[in-house]
Amino acid sequence: MSRHQTLIVAGAVALASLTALAQQQQPPPAGTVVMKGRAPVNNEVLKINLPKPREADLSNGVHLMVLEDHRVPQVGFQLLIRGAGGYYDPPDIPGLAGFTASLMREGTTTRPSAKISQDLDRLAASVTVGAGLSSPFATVSGSSLTEHLDTVLAMTADILLNPSFTEEEIARYKTRTRAQLISQRSNPGFLAVEQFQRTIYGDHPASRVSPTPAALDALTRNALVEFHRAHYLPDHAVLAVAGDITIAEAQRRFEAALSGWHKGHTAAPATADPAVVSGKTVLLVSRPGSVQTNLIVGTQAIERTNPDYDALVVANKVLGSGPASRLFMHLREQKGYTYGVGSGLSAQLYRGDWQASMAVRTDVTDPALTDLLDEIRQMREVPVPARELADAKRSLVSSFALSLENPTAVLNNYVTLWIYKLPADYWDTYPQRIEAITTADVQRVAQKYFAPDRMQIVAVGDAAKVTPALKKLGDVKTYDAEGKPIVP
């Protein structure tokens, strides 16, 4: 197991494995296992008992969660700071939160960037800082062997509280980032996501998928210093810790490390839903000579706390999540249109989106898009067969159970409770709630959220070859690779 693994907590953020935490389950009693083909299937609803983290508050208001696992001498942690993510970027510098997070790691008032990297390598430790373009949160993550934890926490606190933001590092960062901004515009997948997010979210922060060259040009040291001062506050932060440490040790060590981080006495930063999208839109990003077409089809959906969340997760599982889904089996396995196709639900503190996406050969753009929309239509119009629904629900619950084999995933679940203010027994009852979803529930949410009159359709490809197929779906708005409208 790598010593460099880092605790990554959801809320939008990626998961990282720490150590195995075996889930204790008893074999099913006789009579509960049936045969489906040649594979045994357990008809009983999975009962789970999640390990509970210990919780406390630091004196500066940071909420602490600790999940102990002493089998490996390692500790992983992640600090989520609400109000420091890209959601709160100033309008004139979109991307400032991400710029700030990236440059915090590039040196402090006492440690240059090279020294930080050398010391972390020597200790087999890691510290990272990140802030998504549309996330309400910035994250400071780290991992360390238990014996070096105090040293790593001191470095983490220095990075968090004393970034230097030198003009030299800012200039280097701008040079690197400009090259990335140029490169990504040659990626058709990026261009498709860019147009889809703009169409779904309008002027909302979630519409941003990349900083702009203009924002990079506007970036100054003063802007970085001011954003850090105003937004990196402990008032509405949560600190998740997993590994070889007790709650008492964690409270003592993090209290000492963060003693210089003082409350700002601010109200919880607010979030708002994007404006409702009415009507269907068909957009094309022209890439002359492209041998494939990248497609995204989707709609605005729900926030994470919406009562329809579980049913929509199940509907998405049936339609496009995983190799047993309809989109994968039909468009990839049967028709061979694409190597990869799938769908997903993004539900945040604000109303998110549902989308299906794939890349297909240019010459099959028309039938592939027709079949994709037909699969979505069938979800609305035809009840899902009982066996298919049962398989989808079983897969979701099984994946959930497997995710509990490491303490990071368990802790992530509790951080999710904290972020979204979900009921305390939310994860304990997850299998029962998923099992309770009916065919009628799935059809109801499909009719509500997969509505054809609100479907946003984005294609990136050779306009001369794919425009006729898109015109069958409505008026086509065409853009170039820079995102600028092309007037016929």
Q: Please answer whether residues 326 and 349 qualify as being in contact, where contact means their C-beta atoms are separated by less than 8 angstroms.
A: no
What is the model's pLDDT at position 42? 58
What is the model's pLDDT at position 35? 37
User: Pick from 486, 481, 482, 488: which is nearest to 294 by CA?
Assistant: 481
What is the model's pLDDT at position 487? 86
Instruction: Answer yes or no: do 94 and 227 share one domain.
Output: yes
Q: Please answer whether residues 135 and 11 qualify as being in contact, where contact means their C-beta atoms are separated by less than 8 angstroms.
A: yes
Q: Please answer whether residues 270 and 91 qualify as being in contact, where contact means their C-beta atoms are separated by less than 8 angstroms.
A: no
What is the model's pLDDT at position 268? 87
Instruction: Answer yes or no: do 224 and 328 share one domain.
Output: no
Those residues with Cβ within 8 angstroms of residue 80's Cβ, 6 or more apart along the chain or in another chain: 9, 11, 13, 137, 138, 139, 237, 238, 239, 240, 415, 419
Flag whether pLDDT at 8 surpasses 90. Answer: no
Instruction: Answer yes or no: do 190 and 109 share one domain.
Output: yes
Query: For the residues 298-322, what does the mean pLDDT come to?
Result: 98
With respect to residue 41, please indicate whether it lies within any of the assigned structural domains: no
pTM summary value: 0.89
Could you tell me the two tokens for 463? 């306009």
Instruction: Answer yes or no: do 352 and 395 share one domain.
Output: yes
With respect to residue 262, please indicate whether it lies within any of the assigned structural domains: no
Instruction: Answer yes or no: do 328 and 246 share one domain.
Output: no
If DSSP codes are grouped into helix, strand and coil, which group holds residue 471? helix
With respect to residue 274, please indicate whether it lies within any of the assigned structural domains: no
> In CATH, what number is assigned to the domain containing residue 129?
3.30.830.10
Instruction: Answer yes or no: do 361 and 212 share one domain.
Output: no
pLDDT per residue as tens digits for the range 106-152: 999 999 999 999 999 999 999 999 999 999 999 999 999 999 999 99
What is the model's pLDDT at position 30? 34
With respect to residue 340, please indicate whether it lies within any of the assigned structural domains: yes
Instruction: Answer yes or no: do 325 and 200 share one domain.
Output: no
Query: For the residues 335-351, what does the mean pLDDT come to?
Result: 97
What is the model's pLDDT at position 38? 41
Could you tell me the two tokens for 369? 């898009």
State percent of the chain over pLDDT 70.
91
Q: Please answer whether residues 210 and 281 qualify as being in contact, where contact means their C-beta atoms are separated by less than 8 angstroms.
A: no
State percent of the chain over pLDDT 90.
87
Task: For residue 349, count other CB atoms closer than 10 A to its CB.
Answer: 22
With cut-offs at 50, 70 and 90, classify the pLDDT of residue 43. Answer: low
pLDDT per residue as tens digits for the range 60-82: 999 999 999 999 999 999 999 99
With cut-offs at 50, 70 and 90, classify the pLDDT of residue 12. Answer: very low
With respect to residue 18, please indicate whether it lies within any of the assigned structural domains: no
Query: For the residues 448-467, what does the mean pLDDT come to?
Result: 98
To the nearest 10 degrees (0 to 180), the angle between helices 113-122 and 149-161 is 160
What domain count does the chain have?
Answer: 2
Give Rg (Cα) of the chain.
24
What is the model's pLDDT at position 18? 31
Instruction: Answer yes or no: do 140 and 204 share one domain.
Output: yes
What is the model's pLDDT at position 323? 97
What is the model's pLDDT at position 190? 98
From CA 229, how far away is CA 234, in angstroms rounded?
12
Which residue range is the domain that position 382 belongs to?
281-479
With respect to residue 32, please indicate whether it lies within any of the assigned structural domains: no
Strand partners, 142: 77, 127
With respect to residue 23, please indicate whether it lies within any of the assigned structural domains: no
Those residues with Cβ within 8 angstroms of residue 475's Cβ, 6 or more apart along the chain or in another chain: 282
What is the model's pLDDT at position 364? 98
Flag whether pLDDT at 21 surpasses 60. Answer: no
Flag whether pLDDT at 49 surpasses 70. Answer: yes
User: Pick from 401, 280, 380: which is nearest to 326 by CA?
Assistant: 380
Flag whether pLDDT at 258 surpasses 60. Answer: yes
With cut-offs at 50, 70 and 90, classify the pLDDT of residue 50. Answer: confident
The secondary element (H helix, E strand) that includes residue 127 is strand 126-131
With respect to residue 248, please indicate whether it lies within any of the assigned structural domains: yes
Instruction: Answer yes or no: do 289 and 400 share one domain.
Output: yes
What is the model's pLDDT at position 265? 86
**Mean pLDDT taken over the chain:** 91
Flag whether pLDDT at 11 surpasses 60. Answer: no
Instruction: Answer yes or no: do 184 and 147 share one domain.
Output: yes
Instruction: Answer yes or no: do 293 and 415 share one domain.
Output: yes
Residue type, 115: K
Query: For the residues 283-296, what does the mean pLDDT come to?
Result: 98
Instruction: Answer yes or no: do 245 and 286 share one domain.
Output: no
Flag whether pLDDT at 356 surpasses 50. Answer: yes
If DSSP codes are grouped into helix, strand and coil, which group holds residue 340? coil
